[in-house]
Amino acid sequence: MSASPSVGQPVSRLEGYQKVTGSARYAGEYNVPGLLYGYVINSTITKGKIIRFDVEKAKALPGVIAIFTHENRPSLAWFAQQYSDMDAPQGSPFRPLHNADILYNGQPIALVVADNFEMARYAATLVKVEYARENFDTGLKENLLKARPPKTGLANFLKPLPPHPKGDFEKAYSDSFARASGEFEHGTEHHNPLELFTTTTIYEGDGKLTIYDKTQGTINSQLYVGNIFGLHYKDIRVIAPYVGGAFGSGLRPQYQLFLSVMAALELKRSVRVTLDRTQMFTFGHRPPTIQHTRFGAGQNGKITALNHLAIAETSRFEDYTEVVVNWSNMLYPAQNTLMEYKLVDVDVFSPLDMRAPGGLTGMHAIECTIDQLACKLNIDPLEFRLINYAETDDSADRPYSSKELKECFRQGAEKFGWSGRHMRPRSMRRGNKLVGYGMAAGIWEAFQIPARAVAIVTPEGKLEVSSAVTDIGTGTLTVMTQIAADELGLPVEAVTFSYGDSKMPFAPIQGGSFTVSSVGSAVKASVKALREKLFKAALKMDNSIFKGYKIGDVDFEGGRILLKSDHSLSLSFREIIIANKGKAIRAGKFSIPDFLTLRKYSRAAHSAVFVEVEVDEDLGIINVTRAVTAVAAGKIINPKTARSQILGGMIWGISKALREETISDHHLGKYMNRNLAEYHIPVHADIHDLDVIFVEENDTIINELGTKGVGEIGIVGMPPAIANAIFNATGKRVNQLPVHLESLL
């Protein structure tokens, strides 16, 4: 190991210079001679059939090359499941330009291809479409009586169904000394990462394609293209070195990928298709969800009964599911539980994973009900959570691999100054502003997915590591470099980590907070195997100084192998390579989780969130003035990039609680605020004093790195903490997110 390990150090992002200077190239910035541009035409009705297209005026424009519709598209894969992908839920995936049927408002129905973007966009306005309209239904609340259980299947294996009921909930709830209940409503949210969805398909000839795609999984896009268009996977190369945010929107291949590849293959030309900001609202979203909770506790404050029902929206062609109701019994022991999760089919595109899918939704309802129950018992909300602290996962009757939530509570409360909170609502103020303190716990399950990496020592004695994983702005490049550097005892500067390319070793889609645990474990395993190969090569050298020694007897440091008992006896990597006839030494490893061991434990990251709000007593305007999040997420590889992840989650939590909502008009069956002027998100003036604490947590079970991931845990506790702070400030429980001003007037 290196004398100065980089794991655990706040290393700045290695690609930061490229990003801030504009030299980092994204999917829409790769140009080749003769590049064509596609512009998508979307359905203006919600349900029905296309009767005819009138494309003559558009085709007559100079520079217009082709207009693709379902009527003239090339022959494609026959079976619906060939359009599936790594993140596809149960059901039949959407097939662009498949037939004349309109399944949802905004569905892509045609692609105009021209020799410049402006002409393609203008020509699209001249294409006239005649429809036969059909009745549609897009309202969740209007169809709650049609709610049904999700269909079961292998898809979404990371999203378990609710646990079976325990005990007799109805009796236990009825007999409870204190009861709290609520109905919680979450509006629709749409992904709006800074980078628009773009695919640039470079036609290489002979069925070979190089594709620059906005994606969270290069191999996922590669498999998707190969399955649909009948191409050999080796002839498809998907590259995504820089991704301008995604948050789940790039987990599944979006329709611009399909259309770009289709046009390139048919025209035998390179084609770029870019979706504009309005079109970002035509695929995927966090589903609107209605929740009902009923929690009961005894006079001693111990929770006796937990009931959580969630009803969410899905499309008519796929069963998109989330883990919404499973969390309460993981956090709070109770002998009587009843958890239910149902779906309503409506005429929309399938919802899509968005940061902490299900967890963000469910924790709001859970933690607000916990706060309400604590108030009814006249117990401080922090003390109430400590009274009901779960040392084990009561829902699965398993121990946790590690859990430092109690320390999160302690450190977070101390940093925030929770002891200064007044229990009685409306008892703290600054001028005409009502001040409130609120808190919430957070939880997100820790996953690990099989992944592979390859490590090479070059003739120059440098280390090169590669994996197909993407970096969606989380710091993946930097963290993987740190892991590799430490494993071979090198400084970060001597390591190159190559990524974001489907020709590289297998990596899963980047999401679910599992990337470091999955790909990082593969990086560590491959470099560890490389150490062994280097040492074996050193042993084979003539008159080897290590003859008679084992790998446990040596250190790897500074590009050399050194005898532990005498560092003056050493060999440089370059010397070993020279003895190896100048050939680089390489090792590749698949990292597969130890499922037999892991199944005995529940694995999760935890957080404690403390929030202060000010509410204008006259206008109802809410301002989050400060917040502290304490996180226990195992080993933190890079506290600088990890802190950035938690801060980003906290800011999005503010957005979720107070700003962000896509408004539907169910008479029209469409979203009405499909732009960033009316789809509200926080700006700089909305964000104030935010602080992050990483609580030390040593987990020797979860994986060799001891990591749990931080992508989701930073957001799940923020909305309920804000809602609870609003109650403390105003005395009003507002269970609809985002909180509207009129609810407080």
User: Which residues does the annotation mark as catalytic?
Assistant: 712
What span, in angstroms and rounded, lies between the C-alpha atoms of 312 and 18? Answer: 41
Contacts of 574 (CB under 8 A, 6+ apart): 459, 460, 461, 559
What span, in angstroms and rounded, lies between the C-alpha atoms of 539 and 116? Answer: 61
**What DSSP designation does 157 have?**
T
* Joined tokens for residue 534: 């280097």
Helix axes 218-229, 255-267, angle to 10 degrees: 50
* Joined tokens for residue 63: 């520079």
> 456 φ, ψ to 5°?
-135, 135
CA angle 616, 620, 626 (to 5 degrees): 55
Contacts of 589 (CB under 8 A, 6+ apart): 452, 453, 522, 525, 526, 528, 529
What span, in angstroms and rounded, lies between the C-alpha atoms of 74 and 80? Answer: 16
Contacts of 577 (CB under 8 A, 6+ apart): 457, 458, 459, 461, 583, 584, 585
What span, in angstroms and rounded, lies between the C-alpha atoms of 692 and 556? Answer: 34
Q: Are 610 and 628 in contact, with CB atoms under 8 Å apart?
A: yes
Whole-Å CA distances, 679 to 42, 190, 212, 654, 655: 20, 9, 29, 14, 11
Q: Indicate the Cα dihedral angle 274, 278, 284, 288, nearest 10°.
A: 170
Bridge partners, 156 (sequence order): none
Task: Pick the closest to residue 412 from 381, 388, 369, 371 (CA basis).
Answer: 381
Task: Pick the closest to residue 544 from 569, 566, 520, 527 (CA basis).
Answer: 569
Q: Are 407 and 695 in contact, with CB atoms under 8 Å apart?
A: yes
Task: Pick the closest to residue 411 from 382, 438, 390 (CA basis).
Answer: 382
How many CA atoms does the CB half-sphere of 690 hold within 13 Å?
23
**What DSSP designation does 460 have?**
T
Task: Pick the closest to residue 152 from 163, 161, 143 (CA basis).
Answer: 161
What span, in angstroms and rounded, lies between the C-alpha atoms of 256 and 233? Answer: 19
User: Buried b / exposed e across 234-272, counting CB within 10 Å, b at 16+?
Assistant: eebbbbbbbbbbbbbbbbbbbbbbbbbbbbbbebebbbb
What span, in angstroms and rounded, lies between the C-alpha atoms of 273 and 652? Answer: 29
Task: Pick the closest to residue 508 from 599, 454, 447 (CA basis).
Answer: 447
**What DSSP designation does 359 have?**
H
What span, in angstroms and rounded, lies between the C-alpha atoms of 278 and 274? Answer: 12
Amino acid residing at 276: D
Peptide bond into 425 cis (omega under 30): no
